[in-house]
Chain A
Amino acid sequence: MKEAKIIEQTLIPVALIAGNIALSHFIYLLAKGDYNSPLWATVICIIALTIGILRGNKYLLIGGTGFYSIVLLVAICL
Protein backbone atom coordinates (compact mmCIF):
# COMPACT_ATOMS: atom_id res chain seq x y z
CA MET A 1 0.00 0.00 0.00
CA LYS A 2 2.77 2.38 1.03
CA GLU A 3 4.83 1.39 -2.01
CA ALA A 4 1.91 2.07 -4.35
CA LYS A 5 1.47 5.47 -2.74
CA ILE A 6 5.15 6.35 -3.24
CA ILE A 7 4.97 5.21 -6.88
CA GLU A 8 1.78 7.15 -7.68
CA GLN A 9 2.46 10.30 -5.71
CA THR A 10 6.23 10.73 -6.01
CA LEU A 11 7.99 8.47 -8.48
CA ILE A 12 5.61 8.90 -11.42
CA PRO A 13 5.45 12.73 -11.20
CA VAL A 14 9.26 12.94 -10.96
CA ALA A 15 9.59 10.46 -13.86
CA LEU A 16 7.20 12.58 -15.93
CA ILE A 17 9.36 15.67 -15.30
CA ALA A 18 12.46 13.71 -16.36
CA GLY A 19 10.52 12.38 -19.37
CA ASN A 20 9.55 15.92 -20.49
CA ILE A 21 13.17 17.04 -20.40
CA ALA A 22 14.45 13.81 -21.98
CA LEU A 23 12.03 14.14 -24.92
CA SER A 24 13.16 17.72 -25.64
CA HIS A 25 16.79 16.65 -25.25
CA PHE A 26 16.28 13.71 -27.65
CA ILE A 27 14.70 15.91 -30.35
CA TYR A 28 17.47 18.50 -29.90
CA LEU A 29 20.17 15.84 -30.39
CA LEU A 30 18.37 14.51 -33.48
CA ALA A 31 18.07 18.02 -34.97
CA LYS A 32 21.75 18.68 -34.21
CA GLY A 33 22.70 15.46 -35.98
CA ASP A 34 24.53 14.17 -32.91
CA TYR A 35 24.01 10.40 -33.11
CA ASN A 36 26.59 9.53 -30.45
CA SER A 37 26.20 7.94 -27.03
CA PRO A 38 24.14 10.77 -25.39
CA LEU A 39 21.37 10.17 -27.95
CA TRP A 40 21.22 6.44 -27.27
CA ALA A 41 21.43 6.97 -23.51
CA THR A 42 18.49 9.39 -23.77
CA VAL A 43 16.49 6.91 -25.88
CA ILE A 44 17.07 4.16 -23.29
CA CYS A 45 15.95 6.51 -20.50
CA ILE A 46 12.78 7.50 -22.39
CA ILE A 47 11.89 3.83 -22.98
CA ALA A 48 12.59 2.92 -19.32
CA LEU A 49 10.55 5.87 -18.06
CA THR A 50 7.61 5.17 -20.39
CA ILE A 51 7.40 1.50 -19.38
CA GLY A 52 7.93 2.43 -15.74
CA ILE A 53 5.10 4.97 -15.82
CA LEU A 54 2.65 2.71 -17.65
CA ARG A 55 3.38 -0.38 -15.51
CA GLY A 56 4.03 1.46 -12.26
CA ASN A 57 7.40 -0.32 -11.93
CA LYS A 58 9.47 1.40 -9.25
CA TYR A 59 12.83 0.00 -10.41
CA LEU A 60 12.37 1.33 -13.93
CA LEU A 61 11.13 4.66 -12.59
CA ILE A 62 14.07 5.11 -10.19
CA GLY A 63 16.60 3.71 -12.67
CA GLY A 64 15.31 5.78 -15.60
CA THR A 65 15.13 9.02 -13.62
CA GLY A 66 18.52 8.51 -11.98
CA PHE A 67 20.28 7.50 -15.18
CA TYR A 68 18.78 10.38 -17.13
CA SER A 69 19.82 12.85 -14.39
CA ILE A 70 23.41 11.68 -14.90
CA VAL A 71 23.09 11.96 -18.72
CA LEU A 72 21.73 15.51 -18.37
CA LEU A 73 24.37 16.59 -15.87
CA VAL A 74 27.14 15.27 -18.11
CA ALA A 75 25.59 17.09 -21.11
CA ILE A 76 25.41 20.37 -19.19
CA CYS A 77 28.90 20.12 -17.72
CA LEU A 78 30.69 19.08 -20.92
Chain B
Amino acid sequence: MKPINKHKKDHKLLWKIHHWSGLYAGIVIGILCFTGAVAVFIPEIDGLIQSRYYSVHAATPAPGQLFKIDQALAEAKKQYPKMSGLLIDMPDKPGRVATFSFAVKGKDKASSKSYFLFVDPVKDQILGSWDRQNSLANYLRQMHVRLYEGFWGRQLVGLAGVAFIVVTVTGFLIYGQFMKKQTYPKVRRKGMRILMGDWHKILGISALAFNFVIACTGAWLGLQPKLMQWFDIKAPNDHDFPKLMKPKADAATLVHWDQVFLVLRKEFPDLKPGYLRASEDGTSTIEVHGSIDGQIYEKNINALVLAKTSYKPLFKCDVRTMSFSQRFYSVQEALHFGDYGGLGLKIVYTVLGLTSAFLSISGFVVYLYRTDKKQQRRMSPWKTTFVYCLLILIVLVVIALISMFIGYRQASAVAAWLVNGSLFGYIIYVIVVAILKKRNSNTKSIGI
Protein backbone atom coordinates (compact mmCIF):
# COMPACT_ATOMS: atom_id res chain seq x y z
CA MET B 1 0.00 0.00 0.00
CA LYS B 2 1.15 3.54 -0.73
CA PRO B 3 1.74 5.84 2.22
CA ILE B 4 -0.82 8.67 2.63
CA ASN B 5 1.75 11.39 1.86
CA LYS B 6 2.68 9.72 -1.43
CA HIS B 7 -1.03 9.58 -2.32
CA LYS B 8 -1.41 13.28 -1.59
CA LYS B 9 1.66 14.11 -3.66
CA ASP B 10 0.34 12.09 -6.61
CA HIS B 11 -3.02 13.87 -6.41
CA LYS B 12 -1.32 17.24 -6.20
CA LEU B 13 0.73 16.45 -9.29
CA LEU B 14 -2.39 15.29 -11.17
CA TRP B 15 -4.25 18.41 -10.10
CA LYS B 16 -1.34 20.59 -11.30
CA ILE B 17 -1.33 18.85 -14.70
CA HIS B 18 -5.12 19.30 -14.94
CA HIS B 19 -4.84 22.94 -13.92
CA TRP B 20 -2.02 23.97 -16.28
CA SER B 21 -3.16 22.02 -19.33
CA GLY B 22 -6.69 23.37 -18.83
CA LEU B 23 -5.45 26.92 -18.38
CA TYR B 24 -3.16 26.95 -21.42
CA ALA B 25 -5.30 24.95 -23.85
CA GLY B 26 -8.72 25.82 -22.38
CA ILE B 27 -9.48 28.64 -24.81
CA VAL B 28 -8.81 26.50 -27.90
CA ILE B 29 -10.68 23.53 -26.37
CA GLY B 30 -13.63 25.83 -25.60
CA ILE B 31 -13.68 27.26 -29.15
CA LEU B 32 -13.44 23.77 -30.67
CA CYS B 33 -16.24 22.40 -28.45
CA PHE B 34 -18.48 25.35 -29.28
CA THR B 35 -17.86 25.23 -33.05
CA GLY B 36 -18.07 21.42 -32.97
CA ALA B 37 -21.44 21.57 -31.24
CA VAL B 38 -22.76 23.55 -34.22
CA ALA B 39 -20.66 21.74 -36.84
CA VAL B 40 -22.40 18.38 -36.25
CA PHE B 41 -25.34 19.90 -38.12
CA ILE B 42 -23.34 20.85 -41.25
CA PRO B 43 -25.29 18.51 -43.60
CA GLU B 44 -28.61 19.80 -42.19
CA ILE B 45 -27.45 23.44 -42.52
CA ASP B 46 -26.33 22.76 -46.10
CA GLY B 47 -29.67 21.13 -46.90
CA LEU B 48 -31.62 24.01 -45.36
CA ILE B 49 -29.65 26.67 -47.24
CA GLN B 50 -30.05 24.77 -50.50
CA SER B 51 -33.81 24.39 -50.14
CA ARG B 52 -34.65 27.74 -48.51
CA TYR B 53 -32.08 30.19 -49.90
CA TYR B 54 -31.35 28.69 -53.34
CA SER B 55 -34.80 27.04 -53.63
CA VAL B 56 -33.40 23.91 -55.27
CA HIS B 57 -35.26 20.63 -54.80
CA ALA B 58 -34.67 17.31 -56.48
CA ALA B 59 -37.42 14.89 -57.45
CA THR B 60 -37.88 11.87 -55.20
CA PRO B 61 -36.73 8.69 -56.97
CA ALA B 62 -39.14 5.78 -57.35
CA PRO B 63 -38.16 2.65 -55.37
CA GLY B 64 -35.29 0.92 -57.15
CA GLN B 65 -34.77 3.79 -59.60
CA LEU B 66 -31.15 4.50 -60.53
CA PHE B 67 -29.59 7.97 -60.52
CA LYS B 68 -28.99 9.67 -63.89
CA ILE B 69 -26.51 12.50 -64.39
CA ASP B 70 -25.12 12.07 -67.93
CA GLN B 71 -27.23 14.79 -69.58
CA ALA B 72 -26.61 17.27 -66.76
CA LEU B 73 -22.87 16.65 -67.03
CA ALA B 74 -22.91 17.06 -70.81
CA GLU B 75 -24.69 20.39 -70.29
CA ALA B 76 -22.09 21.45 -67.68
CA LYS B 77 -19.26 20.51 -70.05
CA LYS B 78 -20.87 22.60 -72.76
CA GLN B 79 -20.95 25.62 -70.42
CA TYR B 80 -17.45 25.03 -68.98
CA PRO B 81 -15.40 23.18 -71.62
CA LYS B 82 -12.16 23.60 -69.65
CA MET B 83 -13.47 22.00 -66.44
CA SER B 84 -11.08 19.79 -64.48
CA GLY B 85 -11.00 17.89 -61.19
CA LEU B 86 -14.70 17.03 -61.35
CA LEU B 87 -16.14 15.65 -58.11
CA ILE B 88 -19.74 14.49 -58.04
CA ASP B 89 -21.41 14.54 -54.62
CA MET B 90 -24.51 12.39 -54.44
CA PRO B 91 -27.45 13.21 -52.14
CA ASP B 92 -27.65 11.38 -48.81
CA LYS B 93 -31.45 11.60 -48.63
CA PRO B 94 -34.22 11.40 -51.24
CA GLY B 95 -35.29 14.84 -52.44
CA ARG B 96 -31.84 16.35 -51.91
CA VAL B 97 -29.70 17.54 -54.82
CA ALA B 98 -26.39 16.23 -56.15
CA THR B 99 -23.52 18.67 -56.80
CA PHE B 100 -20.82 18.93 -59.44
CA SER B 101 -17.66 20.56 -58.03
CA PHE B 102 -14.87 21.44 -60.47
CA ALA B 103 -12.27 24.04 -61.32
CA VAL B 104 -11.65 26.00 -64.49
CA LYS B 105 -7.94 26.67 -64.62
CA GLY B 106 -6.74 30.09 -65.64
CA LYS B 107 -3.28 31.28 -66.63
CA ASP B 108 -2.17 31.34 -62.98
CA LYS B 109 -3.49 30.22 -59.58
CA ALA B 110 -5.24 33.54 -58.90
CA SER B 111 -7.25 33.40 -62.12
CA SER B 112 -8.39 29.79 -61.55
CA LYS B 113 -11.97 29.51 -60.36
CA SER B 114 -13.99 26.87 -58.54
CA TYR B 115 -17.58 26.11 -59.56
CA PHE B 116 -20.37 24.24 -57.76
CA LEU B 117 -23.53 23.24 -59.63
CA PHE B 118 -26.75 21.84 -58.19
CA VAL B 119 -28.04 18.84 -60.10
CA ASP B 120 -31.29 16.89 -59.91
CA PRO B 121 -30.07 13.27 -60.11
CA VAL B 122 -33.57 11.98 -60.87
CA LYS B 123 -34.60 14.37 -63.68
CA ASP B 124 -30.97 14.62 -64.87
CA GLN B 125 -30.79 18.41 -65.09
CA ILE B 126 -28.80 21.33 -63.70
CA LEU B 127 -30.79 23.39 -61.21
CA GLY B 128 -28.40 26.23 -60.44
CA SER B 129 -25.04 27.14 -58.97
CA TRP B 130 -23.70 28.27 -55.59
CA ASP B 131 -20.54 29.45 -53.92
CA ARG B 132 -19.73 26.59 -51.58
CA GLN B 133 -16.43 28.06 -50.40
CA ASN B 134 -18.21 31.08 -48.97
CA SER B 135 -21.00 29.11 -47.33
CA LEU B 136 -21.75 28.97 -43.60
CA ALA B 137 -21.15 25.21 -43.64
CA ASN B 138 -17.65 25.67 -45.05
CA TYR B 139 -16.89 28.33 -42.41
CA LEU B 140 -17.94 25.95 -39.62
CA ARG B 141 -15.93 23.11 -41.16
CA GLN B 142 -12.77 25.19 -41.60
CA MET B 143 -13.03 26.79 -38.16
CA HIS B 144 -13.52 23.48 -36.38
CA VAL B 145 -11.00 21.47 -38.39
CA ARG B 146 -8.13 23.98 -38.62
CA LEU B 147 -9.19 27.22 -36.86
CA TYR B 148 -9.40 28.57 -40.45
CA GLU B 149 -5.59 28.57 -40.58
CA GLY B 150 -4.13 26.69 -43.53
CA PHE B 151 -0.49 26.15 -42.54
CA TRP B 152 -0.55 24.33 -39.21
CA GLY B 153 -4.09 24.97 -37.98
CA ARG B 154 -5.04 21.28 -38.22
CA GLN B 155 -2.00 20.29 -36.15
CA LEU B 156 -2.82 22.95 -33.54
CA VAL B 157 -6.31 21.48 -33.29
CA GLY B 158 -4.75 18.01 -32.91
CA LEU B 159 -2.51 19.27 -30.09
CA ALA B 160 -5.54 20.85 -28.40
CA GLY B 161 -7.11 17.38 -28.66
CA VAL B 162 -4.08 15.91 -26.85
CA ALA B 163 -4.44 18.56 -24.13
CA PHE B 164 -8.16 17.66 -23.94
CA ILE B 165 -7.22 14.00 -23.35
CA VAL B 166 -4.84 15.05 -20.55
CA VAL B 167 -7.49 17.27 -18.94
CA THR B 168 -10.15 14.52 -19.16
CA VAL B 169 -7.96 11.74 -17.74
CA THR B 170 -6.52 13.85 -14.90
CA GLY B 171 -10.01 15.20 -14.18
CA PHE B 172 -11.29 11.63 -13.75
CA LEU B 173 -8.36 10.70 -11.49
CA ILE B 174 -8.71 13.70 -9.18
CA TYR B 175 -12.52 13.67 -9.10
CA GLY B 176 -12.74 11.47 -6.00
CA GLN B 177 -10.41 13.72 -4.01
CA PHE B 178 -12.75 16.68 -4.57
CA MET B 179 -15.93 14.75 -3.69
CA LYS B 180 -15.03 13.82 -0.12
CA LYS B 181 -17.89 15.66 1.56
CA GLN B 182 -20.29 15.72 -1.36
CA THR B 183 -22.84 13.45 -2.99
CA TYR B 184 -23.01 13.27 -6.80
CA PRO B 185 -25.59 15.60 -8.28
CA LYS B 186 -25.58 18.02 -5.34
CA VAL B 187 -24.35 21.55 -6.04
CA ARG B 188 -23.43 23.70 -3.01
CA ARG B 189 -24.47 27.33 -3.04
CA LYS B 190 -21.72 28.77 -0.87
CA GLY B 191 -20.36 31.55 -3.03
CA MET B 192 -19.56 31.74 -6.71
CA ARG B 193 -16.22 29.88 -6.55
CA ILE B 194 -17.72 26.81 -4.86
CA LEU B 195 -20.83 26.93 -7.05
CA MET B 196 -18.83 27.03 -10.29
CA GLY B 197 -16.40 24.43 -8.94
CA ASP B 198 -19.29 22.08 -8.17
CA TRP B 199 -20.85 22.55 -11.60
CA HIS B 200 -17.41 21.95 -13.14
CA LYS B 201 -17.08 18.65 -11.26
CA ILE B 202 -20.66 17.44 -11.78
CA LEU B 203 -20.85 18.27 -15.50
CA GLY B 204 -17.27 17.16 -16.08
CA ILE B 205 -17.85 13.68 -14.67
CA SER B 206 -21.29 13.42 -16.33
CA ALA B 207 -19.85 14.04 -19.80
CA LEU B 208 -16.52 12.32 -19.16
CA ALA B 209 -16.88 9.37 -21.56
CA PHE B 210 -18.11 11.67 -24.33
CA ASN B 211 -15.25 14.11 -23.73
CA PHE B 212 -12.71 11.30 -23.75
CA VAL B 213 -14.00 9.91 -27.06
CA ILE B 214 -14.15 13.39 -28.64
CA ALA B 215 -10.65 14.22 -27.34
CA CYS B 216 -9.04 10.99 -28.59
CA THR B 217 -10.72 11.03 -32.00
CA GLY B 218 -10.14 14.80 -32.33
CA ALA B 219 -6.45 14.44 -31.52
CA TRP B 220 -6.16 11.63 -34.07
CA LEU B 221 -8.07 13.50 -36.79
CA GLY B 222 -6.04 16.69 -36.21
CA LEU B 223 -2.67 14.98 -36.27
CA GLN B 224 -3.70 12.30 -38.79
CA PRO B 225 -2.01 13.72 -41.94
CA LYS B 226 1.36 14.06 -40.19
CA LEU B 227 1.09 10.78 -38.25
CA MET B 228 0.15 8.87 -41.43
CA GLN B 229 3.10 10.43 -43.23
CA TRP B 230 5.62 9.80 -40.43
CA PHE B 231 4.55 6.22 -39.60
CA ASP B 232 3.60 5.22 -43.15
CA ILE B 233 -0.01 4.39 -42.19
CA LYS B 234 -2.34 3.63 -45.09
CA ALA B 235 -6.07 4.27 -45.14
CA PRO B 236 -8.12 1.07 -45.73
CA ASN B 237 -9.49 2.44 -49.01
CA ASP B 238 -6.07 3.50 -50.35
CA HIS B 239 -5.21 1.98 -53.72
CA ASP B 240 -2.55 2.39 -56.41
CA PHE B 241 -3.07 1.69 -60.08
CA PRO B 242 -0.55 1.77 -62.94
CA LYS B 243 -0.73 4.64 -65.41
CA LEU B 244 -2.13 3.35 -68.69
CA MET B 245 -2.29 6.53 -70.73
CA LYS B 246 -1.31 10.18 -70.75
CA PRO B 247 -3.21 12.37 -68.25
CA LYS B 248 -4.73 14.52 -71.03
CA ALA B 249 -6.11 11.47 -72.85
CA ASP B 250 -7.41 10.11 -69.52
CA ALA B 251 -9.22 13.37 -68.74
CA ALA B 252 -10.75 13.43 -72.23
CA THR B 253 -12.18 9.89 -71.96
CA LEU B 254 -15.96 10.09 -71.73
CA VAL B 255 -17.57 8.38 -68.74
CA HIS B 256 -21.13 7.06 -68.89
CA TRP B 257 -22.18 7.60 -65.28
CA ASP B 258 -25.54 5.90 -65.83
CA GLN B 259 -23.57 2.77 -66.68
CA VAL B 260 -21.47 3.27 -63.51
CA PHE B 261 -24.62 3.29 -61.34
CA LEU B 262 -25.78 0.10 -63.07
CA VAL B 263 -22.46 -1.71 -62.40
CA LEU B 264 -22.47 -0.38 -58.83
CA ARG B 265 -25.87 -1.94 -58.13
CA LYS B 266 -24.63 -5.27 -59.46
CA GLU B 267 -21.19 -5.34 -57.82
CA PHE B 268 -21.85 -3.56 -54.51
CA PRO B 269 -25.64 -3.38 -53.97
CA ASP B 270 -25.47 -2.14 -50.35
CA LEU B 271 -23.25 0.83 -51.19
CA LYS B 272 -25.00 4.19 -51.02
CA PRO B 273 -22.85 6.40 -53.28
CA GLY B 274 -21.45 9.47 -51.52
CA TYR B 275 -19.09 10.90 -54.10
CA LEU B 276 -17.81 9.89 -57.51
CA ARG B 277 -14.65 10.83 -59.37
CA ALA B 278 -13.06 9.92 -62.69
CA SER B 279 -9.27 9.81 -62.89
CA GLU B 280 -7.29 12.50 -64.72
CA ASP B 281 -3.81 11.17 -63.93
CA GLY B 282 -3.57 8.45 -66.57
CA THR B 283 -4.78 5.50 -64.44
CA SER B 284 -8.07 5.39 -66.37
CA THR B 285 -10.28 4.58 -63.37
CA ILE B 286 -13.60 5.63 -61.88
CA GLU B 287 -13.91 5.82 -58.09
CA VAL B 288 -17.20 5.46 -56.26
CA HIS B 289 -17.04 6.13 -52.52
CA GLY B 290 -19.99 5.62 -50.23
CA SER B 291 -21.51 4.32 -47.03
CA ILE B 292 -23.57 1.32 -45.96
CA ASP B 293 -26.69 2.14 -43.93
CA GLY B 294 -26.73 1.47 -40.17
CA GLN B 295 -22.96 1.31 -39.61
CA ILE B 296 -20.74 3.27 -37.21
CA TYR B 297 -18.00 4.01 -39.73
CA GLU B 298 -16.53 7.03 -41.46
CA LYS B 299 -18.72 8.45 -44.21
CA ASN B 300 -17.71 7.24 -47.69
CA ILE B 301 -15.08 4.80 -46.36
CA ASN B 302 -16.38 2.01 -48.65
CA ALA B 303 -15.22 2.20 -52.24
CA LEU B 304 -15.54 0.55 -55.62
CA VAL B 305 -13.03 1.37 -58.37
CA LEU B 306 -13.94 0.57 -61.98
CA ALA B 307 -11.93 0.58 -65.20
CA LYS B 308 -12.89 3.66 -67.21
CA THR B 309 -13.22 1.91 -70.52
CA SER B 310 -14.70 -1.50 -69.65
CA TYR B 311 -16.48 -0.61 -66.33
CA LYS B 312 -15.01 -3.76 -64.79
CA PRO B 313 -14.35 -3.67 -61.02
CA LEU B 314 -10.65 -3.24 -60.17
CA PHE B 315 -10.81 -2.70 -56.42
CA LYS B 316 -13.46 -3.10 -53.75
CA CYS B 317 -13.24 -1.81 -50.19
CA ASP B 318 -16.07 -3.13 -48.01
CA VAL B 319 -15.79 -2.13 -44.36
CA ARG B 320 -17.61 -5.32 -43.30
CA THR B 321 -14.76 -7.50 -44.55
CA MET B 322 -11.95 -5.38 -43.09
CA SER B 323 -9.56 -6.42 -40.30
CA PHE B 324 -10.08 -5.12 -36.75
CA SER B 325 -7.33 -2.49 -37.08
CA GLN B 326 -8.82 -1.17 -40.34
CA ARG B 327 -12.27 -1.00 -38.77
CA PHE B 328 -10.81 0.77 -35.75
CA TYR B 329 -9.27 3.31 -38.15
CA SER B 330 -12.62 3.76 -39.91
CA VAL B 331 -14.66 4.28 -36.75
CA GLN B 332 -12.76 7.41 -35.55
CA GLU B 333 -14.45 10.02 -37.73
CA ALA B 334 -17.97 8.68 -37.16
CA LEU B 335 -17.47 8.68 -33.38
CA HIS B 336 -16.17 12.25 -33.54
CA PHE B 337 -19.01 13.65 -35.67
CA GLY B 338 -21.83 11.52 -34.24
CA ASP B 339 -23.48 11.04 -37.63
CA TYR B 340 -24.27 7.35 -37.07
CA GLY B 341 -27.34 7.84 -34.88
CA GLY B 342 -29.47 10.29 -36.84
CA LEU B 343 -30.67 13.66 -35.63
CA GLY B 344 -31.25 12.40 -32.06
CA LEU B 345 -27.59 11.59 -31.51
CA LYS B 346 -26.53 14.88 -33.10
CA ILE B 347 -28.66 16.74 -30.54
CA VAL B 348 -27.00 14.73 -27.73
CA TYR B 349 -23.57 15.56 -29.22
CA THR B 350 -24.47 19.25 -29.33
CA VAL B 351 -25.65 19.31 -25.70
CA LEU B 352 -22.56 17.43 -24.51
CA GLY B 353 -20.30 19.59 -26.72
CA LEU B 354 -21.74 22.76 -25.18
CA THR B 355 -21.24 21.17 -21.75
CA SER B 356 -17.56 20.72 -22.59
CA ALA B 357 -17.34 24.36 -23.73
CA PHE B 358 -18.92 25.34 -20.39
CA LEU B 359 -16.26 23.28 -18.58
CA SER B 360 -13.47 25.43 -20.02
CA ILE B 361 -15.35 28.59 -18.94
CA SER B 362 -16.19 27.32 -15.45
CA GLY B 363 -12.61 26.09 -14.97
CA PHE B 364 -11.36 29.55 -15.90
CA VAL B 365 -13.82 31.25 -13.50
CA VAL B 366 -12.71 28.98 -10.64
CA TYR B 367 -9.06 29.77 -11.44
CA LEU B 368 -9.77 33.51 -11.41
CA TYR B 369 -11.63 33.32 -8.07
CA ARG B 370 -8.88 31.19 -6.55
CA THR B 371 -6.10 33.60 -7.56
CA ASP B 372 -8.15 36.80 -7.21
CA LYS B 373 -6.91 37.87 -3.76
CA LYS B 374 -3.30 37.03 -4.50
CA GLN B 375 -3.12 38.79 -7.86
CA GLN B 376 -5.34 41.80 -6.99
CA ARG B 377 -6.89 42.20 -10.44
CA ARG B 378 -8.74 45.34 -11.42
CA MET B 379 -11.66 43.44 -12.94
CA SER B 380 -13.81 40.92 -11.10
CA PRO B 381 -13.52 37.25 -12.23
CA TRP B 382 -16.95 37.37 -13.88
CA LYS B 383 -16.15 40.57 -15.78
CA THR B 384 -12.84 39.12 -16.97
CA THR B 385 -14.55 35.90 -18.13
CA PHE B 386 -17.31 37.88 -19.85
CA VAL B 387 -14.78 40.08 -21.70
CA TYR B 388 -12.79 37.04 -22.88
CA CYS B 389 -15.93 35.20 -24.04
CA LEU B 390 -17.26 38.28 -25.82
CA LEU B 391 -13.93 38.90 -27.57
CA ILE B 392 -13.78 35.30 -28.79
CA LEU B 393 -17.39 35.45 -29.96
CA ILE B 394 -16.75 38.72 -31.83
CA VAL B 395 -13.69 37.22 -33.54
CA LEU B 396 -15.68 34.12 -34.56
CA VAL B 397 -18.55 36.24 -35.93
CA VAL B 398 -16.23 38.67 -37.79
CA ILE B 399 -14.37 35.80 -39.50
CA ALA B 400 -17.72 34.18 -40.35
CA LEU B 401 -18.95 37.42 -41.93
CA ILE B 402 -15.71 37.90 -43.91
CA SER B 403 -15.89 34.26 -45.03
CA MET B 404 -19.49 34.49 -46.22
CA PHE B 405 -19.65 38.00 -47.67
CA ILE B 406 -16.10 38.90 -48.76
CA GLY B 407 -14.26 35.69 -49.50
CA TYR B 408 -12.69 32.47 -48.28
CA ARG B 409 -9.10 33.61 -48.91
CA GLN B 410 -9.55 36.90 -47.05
CA ALA B 411 -11.13 35.13 -44.05
CA SER B 412 -8.30 32.61 -44.07
CA ALA B 413 -5.70 35.43 -44.11
CA VAL B 414 -7.38 37.24 -41.17
CA ALA B 415 -7.63 33.97 -39.20
CA ALA B 416 -3.98 33.14 -39.93
CA TRP B 417 -2.89 36.55 -38.58
CA LEU B 418 -5.06 36.14 -35.50
CA VAL B 419 -4.11 32.53 -34.72
CA ASN B 420 -0.39 32.92 -35.35
CA GLY B 421 -0.26 36.39 -33.74
CA SER B 422 -2.04 35.12 -30.60
CA LEU B 423 0.15 32.02 -30.49
CA PHE B 424 3.44 33.93 -30.70
CA GLY B 425 2.17 36.68 -28.38
CA TYR B 426 1.14 34.03 -25.87
CA ILE B 427 4.50 32.23 -26.02
CA ILE B 428 6.40 35.52 -25.54
CA TYR B 429 4.09 36.45 -22.63
CA VAL B 430 4.68 33.09 -20.91
CA ILE B 431 8.48 33.42 -21.33
CA VAL B 432 8.50 37.02 -20.01
CA VAL B 433 6.34 36.08 -16.99
CA ALA B 434 8.61 33.09 -16.22
CA ILE B 435 11.76 35.27 -16.43
CA LEU B 436 10.20 37.97 -14.21
CA LYS B 437 9.12 35.37 -11.64
CA LYS B 438 12.61 33.88 -11.54
CA ARG B 439 14.19 37.34 -11.19
CA ASN B 440 11.79 38.27 -8.35
CA SER B 441 12.50 35.04 -6.46
CA ASN B 442 16.28 35.60 -6.91
CA THR B 443 15.99 39.17 -5.58
CA LYS B 444 13.98 37.94 -2.58
CA SER B 445 16.51 35.20 -1.74
CA ILE B 446 19.41 37.72 -1.97
CA GLY B 447 17.46 40.11 0.32
CA ILE B 448 17.02 37.34 2.92
Contact = CB atoms under 8 A, between A and B. Distances in A.
Co-assembled chains A and B: yes
A13 interface: yes
B25 interface: no
16 contacts: A8-B176, A8-B182, A8-B184, A16-B205, A16-B208, A16-B209, A20-B209, A21-B209, A24-B341, A27-B341, A27-B345, A28-B296, A30-B341, A30-B342, A53-B184, A53-B185
Contacts of A28: 296, 340-341, 345
Interface of A: 5, 8-10, 12-13, 16-21, 23-24, 27-28, 30-34, 53-54, 56
A20 B184 CA distance: 16
Interface residues of B, number: 24
Contact of B176 (A10, A21, A31, A53): A10
Nearest to B338: A24
A56 B342 contact: no
A65 to B, nearest CB: 12
A74 to B, nearest CB: 15
B344 A9 contact: no
Contact of B209 (A10, A17, A34): A17
Given A8-B179, A9-B175, A23-B348, A54 B185 contact: yes
Nearest to A32: B294
Given A24-B341, A27-B341, A27-B344, A56 B183 contact: yes
B116 interface: no
A25 to B, nearest CB: 9
B10 to A, nearest CB: 15
Contacts of A23: 348
Contacts of B209: 16-21
A11 B182 CA distance: 14
Nearest to B342: A31
Contacts of B208: 13, 16-17, 20
What is the predominant secondary structure among interface residues of chain B facing chain A? helix
What is the predominant secondary structure among interface residues of chain A facing chain B? helix
A18 B208 CA distance: 10
B321 to A, nearest CB: 16
Contacts of B255: none
B172 interface: yes
Contacts of A16: 205-206, 208-209
B210 interface: yes
B344 A12 contact: no
Nearest to A28: B341
Contacts of B205: 12-13, 16
Of B208, B209, B340, B348, which is in contact with the most chain A CB atoms at under 10 Å from its CB?
Answer: B209
Given A18-B209, A20-B207, 10 more contacts: A8-B179, A8-B183, A9-B176, A12-B184, A12-B205, A13-B176, A28-B340, A28-B345, A31-B345, A34-B294
B356 to A, nearest CB: 12
Q: In the A-B complex, list the 3 residue pairs whose CB atoms are closest, starting with the nearest.
A: A9-B176, A20-B209, A31-B342
Interface string B182-219: 11110000000000000000000111111000000000
Contact of B348 (A9, A12, A17, A27): A27
Nearest to A54: B185
Contacts of A54: 185
A31 B341 contact: yes
Nearest to A23: B348
Of B180, B184, B208, B294, which is in contact with the most chain A CB atoms at under 10 Å from its CB?
Answer: B184
B168 to A, nearest CB: 11
A13 B348 contact: no
B245 to A, nearest CB: 44
B184 A56 contact: yes
A73 B231 CA distance: 30
B338 to A, nearest CB: 8
Contacts of B172: 13
A45 to B, nearest CB: 14
A2 to B, nearest CB: 13
A13 B175 contact: yes
